[in-house]
Amino acid sequence: MKSIAALQKCVTPWSDGLEPSDAELDAIEQEMPLIQARVDLLDAQIMTIDRTPSELDKRRIRRAHNRVLAARRDLANRTGDSMVSGDAA
């Protein structure tokens, strides 16, 4: 069997512009606590898909949800502090 990719040119040529910039990587790094909190919440929810959640499961989901909210709050406060405001101090 022949490979289709070997018989034709690449659809999207590789370019240096496909790599994330330093600013984009910094933004991802700042959002990493929120990303991890959302992954933890999703993991807690996935564990209860095929069964009735126990009291421990409900507590795990609630705590994970609270961590997401705290991470969102912290991220909003960090980005709010870094922005220049026109308000008088």
Mind listing the pLDDT tens digit for each residue in 2-50? Answer: 565 555 555 666 666 678 889 999 999 999 999 999 999 999 999 999 9
How many residues in total does the chain contain?
A: 89
Q: Which token pair is 39? A: 């992954």
pLDDT for the residue numbered 30: 93
pLDDT for the residue numbered 89: 45
pLDDT for the residue numbered 37: 97
Q: Which token pair is 85? A: 């405001």
Confidence check: pLDDT of 80 > 90: no
pLDDT tens digits, 58-77: 999 999 999 999 999 999 99
Q: With contact defined as beta carbons under 8 Å apart, do 75 and 33 qualify?
A: yes
Q: Which token pair is 34? A: 């929120």
